Structures are given as C-alpha cells and as structure tokens.
Structure 1
Amino acid sequence: MKPWITLLAAVLLSPLLSAAEKPNILVIIADDCTYSDLSFHGGENAKTPHLDAFAKSGTVFERAYLGMAMCAPCRSEFYTGRLPLRNGCAWNQAASRPGTKSITHYLGDLGYRVGLAGKTHIKPRGVYPFEEIAGFDENCVRDPTLPHHVEGARKFITRDEKQPFCLVVALTEPHAPWVMGDASAYPPKSLKLPAYLADTPLTRQSFSRYLAEITYMDGQVGELLEMLDKTGRAKDTLVVFTSEQGAQFPGCKWTNYDCGLHTSIVARMPGVVPAGRRTPALVQYADLLPTFIELAGGKPDPKSFDGTSFAAVLRGEKDTHREFVEGMHNNYPEGPPYPIRSISDGEWRYIRNLTPERIYIEKHLMGRTEHNPYWGSWVFSATENPRHLMLVERFIHRPAEELYHTSQDRFELKNLAADPAQTANKARLSAALDRYLADQLDPGAKLDTPEAFQSAQDLKPPFPGKP
C-alpha cells in the first residue's frame, strides 16, 4: 500500500478507537455540596481525606459551573450536553423533551455500557435509559439514607472487559436532611462559618450536620475508588468527581450566586490527565458530555450541544476553554415565581433579577423547619443584629441588577452594579447575557410561571426555548 494511502486511512479511522483504547468512565456526583466547603477549594471545616488525595492525583478545575443550581436541571444539562431550557428541564421536577439524546445514547453508539447507580431525578425514561445499578439509595431526602455497597458497581465494571463502560454513581449526600455521618466530629462552637451565613446557634448546629454528611460522602468516594483499584481498571478509567450545586443554605442552592452555580470538578486518569494540577479553564456542565464523546473517539456535533469538548484541557494541553458561563433560575414550583438570569467570565458575575419588585421565597429552605431550622433564627436575630438583617434582606429582596467581582469577593456580598467605575464592565456582561438569552430563545419572566411549567410538561405551545 502506498504511504499516502496508509496515512489517509489512519486519519479517517482515528476516531474509531478499539475498545481497548477507549477510556472507561466513572463519574461520582455528590448532592448539594457547596464547592467552597471542600478543603481543596479552600474550605476550612470539612474533613475529606479521600477527596483530598484524589485531587492531588488528578486535575482540579477551579472555575467549573452549572446552568441552574437545582438537581434536575443541572443533571439534565450534564447528561444531554444541552443547557436547561434547550433540553426542556428548566424547572426543578421538570422533564426533558422526548426525543432528546443523552449520554446513554451517545456513548452507547460508541460501544459503551452506560449505567447509573443512586439518585436519578431525571425523566423521561426514553431520554435517560440508563442501566440501573444497585448499591446506592435513589431517595435524597430519606431519613436515614439506606445502607450502601459497591458490589453492584463492581459487577458492572467487571462484567465485560472487552466493552468499555461509563458508570455514574450519584450519591445522595450531603443533601438535606443532614442525618448521616458523625456530627460530633464537628463541634458547632469550633466551626468557621462562611461569611454568607448568619452566625446563630441553630446555624452552627445545621452546618455541623451538613459537614458530617460531606465526610460521609467522602467515605463513599473512598470506597468506590478502592473498588476500582481492586478491579484493576483504575489505570484505564477516567474518574470524574463533581459536587453538583451548592447546599441548602441561603445564597447557595436555588440562586445564581457563585456558591450556587460554582461546582467542583476533579478528573483523574493516569498517563492522560496530569496529576497535581489546577486549571483556571472556564467550563460548564454542558461541556462534560462532548468531552466524553471526544475521548471515546467520537466527534461531537456542535449543532447537537450547547457544550463543547474540553479534552485538550484535561490532557494538560490548554488552560482556557469558555469565555462565559451562563446561569438561570426559575423558582416555580420551588416557590412563587422569581426568575433570575446571570453570566460570568470567571472573574466577574452579572445577575439580572427579572421581577425585583417581588419578595424571593424558597419554600423548602424557608418553610421546612425539619430540614432548615436555622432560618427563623436569622429573622428573629435581625432585629438587633445589623449583619443578620443584611443577610436576610440580601436573600429576600434583590435589585434589578447585581455585579460582583467574584475573584476578589468570593461570596459575592458587595454589589457593584451602581458603581460608576464599573459601568463599562457591567455593559459588557449585560450584552453577553442578552446574546445568550437570544440564542436560547428565552422569553424571560414568562418562563417562570405555573402555565409555562405546565406547558413544558404537556409539550404543548407555548413550550419555550430552543429545540
């Protein structure tokens, strides 16, 4: 065969990797874990020896984000590579559009077995036909969480060494109620509360129980990594850990603040992903699936995804990826409508509250005292404590625009939207947000209504968003 023919054949067949060359993929998802509470992201309280060691053995993404700080929307974004409005799950408890393709289809077409253990919180089944793997509780609010085991995951991983696997293990910790782990390891009076929390005894007690669940979750991660080592598959498996959205504290989950949308992503694969590395590359959940497809030898079609592959970042070839990450929030049915849109370049965050005249209410956080008993103590103490009053007002009263220098104001407590020195910067980010909303066909406040939510579930006009 002529040399040029051999070269052409190699180029044409390069995406069609053999099973032996395709990496296995293990994804471990925590549940409602604020990224900044993890020690390798600067957390000062939680003890996570397994995750700390894992972070040192791989690459830590310092600026990873998701599109909505709620369970169903962010998981659907990850599994489909499409932002919430485009895949159809732009409300919590919502479903993705029938006919939408997910990780199960894309990696299945590339020869993978694709399984899911633990929490689902995604629908319909036709969009997410994961093989169900036993061993981890599906119910994130069970009290207590059911006992877990790694045997189902081990059997799935070792079932067929000739066929690559993708296994997602979706844990249910540290989602409220915080009842797992040893809270005595975190004496409330000794904790260093992050600045976005009001310092009351009930807050400290809740934060102690939450930290105990983070340590419990860390133990589960350790068991999974040990199991992977014992199967002999660690050397040819890409392992990705992610913390999902922020916890059920004011300013985290159900918001567009950094503590809500910022997620932890850590990746490890010997010989492929550099160890002991931290990258500032800006990435989003929608980028994960295209990345997996590229690593598996496929070519992600840009028309099918909102995300793009950051495989080059994983391999240590680049430290840049996106220019912006986008965020949104539709409050219904988690509370009365309160639509929010945002954009960040990793340094600055611009937030647009579409109905600032309303009071923000999140019924799980503010109403379920069995999960979040501290909220009432914030309101009660606000009478005499100016800082507590500021934190309560920050949560329930939002201006039309917010601008934060996130890299210098980690918990986004100083709004610079009215600062004349930031007029041009705010205009730059506002214009970028407008482009994103136009691309997604986002109708704005009309989206956060019971009618829009129902039309999305019924798949009837005016079902909004880009198909």
Structure 2
Amino acid sequence: MRRTLLFLVAVMTTVPLFAQQSSARKPNVIIIMADDLDSRQLSCYGGKNIRTTHIDALASEGLKFNQIYTSEAMCVPTRASLFTGLYPVRHGSFQNHKPVYDTLKSVGHYLADLGYRVGLTGKDHVTKPKTVFPFEIIQGFEPNCVAPTDDYTLDGVKKFITRNDKPYCLFVMSINPHAPWTVGDTTEFDPDKLVLPENWVDTEVTRRQFVKYLAEVRRLDNQVGDIAKLLKETSQDKNTIVVFLGEQGAQFPGAKWNLWDAGQKSSMLIKWPGNVKPGTQTDALIQYEDITPTLINVADGQPIAGLDGKSFLPVLLGRSQTARQYAYGIHNNIPEGSPYPIRSIRDTRYKLIVNLTPDQDYYNRFMMNEKQKDRNSVWFSWTTQAATNSNAKRITERFVKRPAIEFYDTQTDPWEFNNLATDPAYQERIKLYQQKLQAWMKQQGDQGAALDITYAQKP
C-alpha cells in the first residue's frame, strides 16, 4: 500500500500541472484588449505619467510579457492575427480594413470544438464574415472605435459568464485609447509635467493631445478593474484566466502604422490562479499569432496544422524561458496613405527593418493631411518647430525619408535612433536577418512592394 502511495505521489509530481487538471473543469478565459495603447505608458511597464492601478494588479498577480509584438501595427490586421493564428498575408487582412479570406477558421471554431462558448463584446472590426468569426456578440461595450463616447455596461457580460457550467472564452474589446480622445477626466494630468516619449517633438499641441490620450488610458484601466471586480463578485475569479493585451502603439507619429517598436511592441499580462506564478515576468519572444494556438493548448486541444503561431504554454507555466526565435513585421500603407511597404525581423535584441520603396516619402493621411491640419495638429506642430529646431528636424525627416535598410540594437537604443546598417561590426548579422526575412516572405507568399496596391472591394 505504501509503495502504491509513493508511486502516485511520484506521478503527480512529474506530470505537468495542466495535465493534472485535464479531468477537472477547463478554465474560463477573459481577454481584455486595448485599442492603440502605448504600452510604455503603463506603470507596470515603466510608465511615468499615469498609475494604471488595475492593469498593474494583473502584473502583480500574474506573468508580464516584455517581448510581445504585433506583426502589423494597425487594428484590423492585429486582431485578425489574434483570432486566426495566421500572419497577415495568409489571413488576407494585410491592409487595414481589408477583409480576411472567407475560407478560414478562427479561435471561435477551435475553442467551440473543445466545448467552449466564445463571445465578444466591444470593438467588432474583425467579426465578419460570421463563417470565419462565429462569436456570440455580447452587448455592453462600445463597438465603434471612433465613437465620441465609450459608455458601457457589464450586464451582458455578467449573463454570459454565469449562464451555465460550460467553459467560456470572452473577448472584451475596449475602444480606449483610440482617437479622437474625447472621453475621460483630463484634469488628472498637468501637461507641463508629462514625460514625453523620446521620439516625439515637444510642442504645446503635443502635450495637450497627450493629456486627452492619457485620460482614455485611465478609462481603459478602470474597465479592467470593473471586469476584475465582476469576476470576484460572481465567484468566477478562481477558474478564469485573465489576459490583458495592449494591441499596437498610439496614433502619434512614429508609432501606429510603422514597424518601429513604438508601433509594433505591445504588452501582455496573464493571470491564471494556481498555474501562473504571481509577480513574474518573461523576455520570451511572442507574437499575436501565438495566442490562439496557446488557447487551444490550454483547452487541452491538439495543435492545428498550418497555423503560423505556436503555443507558449510552457512559458506561461514557468517551464521554459523561450518561445520563438524571431518575430516578423509587415506594413502595407494603403489605404492609410500612399504606398509604403515595410518588412521587419527581430529577436529579443536586434531588429532589421527593410523599406521596400525608400525612394518614396512616407505619408499617412490620418497624421499628415494638409487639408485637415486641425485634425493633424500634432504633426504640423512638429514640422513648424523643425524649421528652427535641429532635434525636431531630425525626428520629422526620419519619419518622412527612410533608408532601404535600418538595423537597431533595441537593448541599447530602444527608440531606434542609431541606425547600424552600415556599421561593419553588424554586416554578418544583417545578412543573416535579410536571408531569414526573405525566407519568411517566400513561405508566406508575400510579394513585397507588389502587395501594397488598391484592391477591389467586395460588394
């Protein structure tokens, strides 16, 4: 009898924790996603301008990911990658607002096949066609990211998460802090005391707009707190994985719609009581394409053949410090501006950016539109200052005119100002990264500059 007990103890200590739970009820999942969040503003990621209390609580109660990247720094491609586990060229939404291919499956299918109810509330840009995204749409959060208000109620969410004993996966898609930055209490912030990102030009207009942006970050943080409170009130908190995602960077010059880290670098916090060690962090390299494969793994499903992403469950459970070797990036500028295709590859330190049409000027209609200077006031305040300020000139010229190759040591140069492309010490590494990037593009069916054209819209 004693030998039998010793054998059982040995088995329980060697079998992975998740496998021990396979016979128990599968965990629920709530994914709260921001909209255009500058993740460096979060206080748990070192931000100085706002104390994001509720988001920080997730970091203290779970695992913080320091190296998560979107493959395309704009809303629709990022969300399509999140849901499908595919890179943009393969899911079809490789330009903003371009629809995915209607033959695909997504997390809505994969988790439903494993016994989950899959719902979504809030921003619904990527929920069509229904055959690809079979989410149960839950009323409560504002679906339109450019709405002048962000009023929300948790009634629908509460009904969804308490409806029955079936496990659920719910995507709570906030519209904060997406422009036009019309909600939130701006009196919390003194524009003169704000610490601006180093790749910005310091102007009065910039500081005034940044105050409005941070007010919406506060709204986002409060929403995270309300969801956490609801889970506790409904006794859902013990068996629910809570994931916070930052999406891509903010709608300020040099971030969203670019492949610099200010646009591509994101945030992810995961709380999983009893499975993820609280107050931990990882430098494992992750992309949004990896999240759906991980959810499938968490739900005890088999890997789906053909996905670009891979499960990082071993990292989540503290059994590995690494996930993928490289993260890739793609940018196609139409319809947000004139053609300006960009590709990138990086590891946890070095990053190669290839501008495929460097003879052209970069232009974005939402930030640099001469006909709408009132709505593009930040950029034009920068160019005005550039006439007399050498730092402003350096920042604005860098934004418009770009070399064919950019190569950065993001560890020593996190704002990617020091281009090492011509440095002899890095030529072998640059050549290697070029080869890896070209191989990835070929595998994806990525035609490069030929991809950044205007496509006929489906009726």
Name the TM tier (shorter chain). over 0.9
Q: CA deviation at 1:150?
A: 1.2
- Given the alignment, which residue of 131, 147, 164 partners 1:126? 131
Cα-to-partner distance string for 1:105-159 (whole Å, 9 max, x where unaligned): 00000010000000011132221121010110001111133x1111111110000
What residue is the counterpart of 2:8 in the other structure? none
Find the aligned partners of 2:318 and 2:324 in 1 and give their Cα distance: 16
Query: Structure 1 residues 84, 233: CA separation in 2 closer, same or farther (over 3 Å shift)?
Result: same
What residue is the counterpart of 2:31 in the other structure? 27
Q: CA deviation at 1:370?
A: 4.9
Find the aligned partners of 2:374 and 2:45 in 1 and give their Cα distance: 29
**Paired residues of 1:339 and 1:354 also in contact (CA < 8 A):** yes
Find the aligned partners of 2:110 and 2:263 in 1 and give their Cα distance: 29
**Paired residues of 1:198 and 1:378 also in contact (CA < 8 A):** yes
Find the aligned partners of 2:121 and 2:241 in 1 and give their Cα distance: 17
SS at match of 1:60: strand
Q: CA deviation at 1:16?
A: 11
SS at match of 1:332: coil
State yes or no: 1:154 paired with 2:158: yes
Runs of 4+ aligned structure 1 residues displaced above 3 Å come to 14-18, 368-372
Cα-to-partner distance string for 1:199-251 (whole Å, 9 max, x where unaligned): 00001111111111111110011001110111111111111000100000111
Amino acid at match of 2:321: D
State yes or no: 1:353 paired with 2:355: yes
SS at match of 1:281: coil
Query: Structure 1 residues 47, 180: CA separation in 2 closer, same or farther (over 3 Å shift)?
Result: farther
State TM-score, norm by structure 2: 0.93
Percent of residue pairs identical? 44
State TM-score, norm by structure 1: 0.92
**Paired residues of 2:44 and 2:52 also in contact (CA < 8 A):** no
Q: CA deviation at 1:372?
A: 3.8
Query: Structure 1 residues 62, 216: CA separation in 2 closer, same or farther (over 3 Å shift)?
Result: same
- Given the alignment, which residue of 383, 407, 410 partners 2:411? 407
Find the aligned partners of 1:428 and 1:46 in 2 and give their Cα distance: 40
Amino acid at match of 2:279: G
State yes or no: 1:69 paired with 2:73: yes
Q: CA deviation at 1:371?
A: 4.4
Query: Which consecutive residues of structure 2, in runs of 5 or more, have no partner in the other structure?
Result: 5-10
State yes or no: 1:333 paired with 2:335: yes
Find the aligned partners of 1:414 and 1:173 in 2 and give their Cα distance: 32
Q: CA deviation at 1:15?
A: 11
Cα-to-partner distance string for 1:267-289 (whole Å, 9 max, x where unaligned): 00111111100101001100000
- Given the alignment, which residue of 90, 94, 98 partners 1:94? 98
Amino acid at match of 1:136: F
Find the aligned partners of 2:384 and 2:249 in 1 and give their Cα distance: 25
Cα-to-partner distance string for 1:48-100 (whole Å, 9 max, x where unaligned): 11111111100000000111001000000000000111011111011111120
Q: CA deviation at 1:17?
A: 4.3
**Paired residues of 2:25 and 2:167 also in contact (CA < 8 A):** no
What residue is the counterpart of 1:463 in the other structure? none
Find the aligned partners of 1:441 and 1:136 in 2 and give their Cα distance: 37
SS at match of 2:32: strand
What residue is the counterpart of 2:183 in the other structure? 180
**Paired residues of 1:60 and 1:266 also in contact (CA < 8 A):** yes
What residue is the counterpart of 2:420 in the other structure? 416
Paired residues for 1:179-258 under 5 Å: 179-258=182-261
Find the aligned partners of 1:150 and 1:265 in 2 and give their Cα distance: 23
- Given the alignment, which residue of 314, 317, 323 partners 2:316? 314
Cα-to-partner distance string for 1:385-422 (whole Å, 9 max, x where unaligned): 01111111111111100011111111111111111221
Query: Structure 1 residues 370, 159: CA separation in 2 closer, same or farther (over 3 Å shift)?
Result: farther
SS at match of 1:263: coil
What residue is the counterpart of 2:430 in the other structure? 426
Find the aligned partners of 1:155 and 1:405 in 2 and give their Cα distance: 48
SS at match of 1:120: coil
SS at match of 1:374: helix
**Paired residues of 2:145 and 2:175 also in contact (CA < 8 A):** yes
Query: Which consecutive residues of structure 1, in runs of 5 or more, have no partner in the other structure?
Result: 460-467
Find the aligned partners of 1:28 and 1:369 in 2 and give their Cα distance: 34
Find the aligned partners of 2:256 and 2:95 in 1 and give their Cα distance: 13
**Paired residues of 2:243 and 2:270 also in contact (CA < 8 A):** yes
Amino acid at match of 1:137: E
Number of aligned positions between the proteins: 442
Cα-to-partner distance string for 1:150-184 (whole Å, 9 max, x where unaligned): 111111000012x0000000000000011111111
Find the aligned partners of 1:227 and 1:189 in 2 and give their Cα distance: 37
Amino acid at match of 2:273: P
State yes or no: 1:344 paired with 2:349: no
What residue is the counterpart of 2:445 in the other structure? 441
SS at match of 2:66: strand
Amino acid at match of 2:412: Q
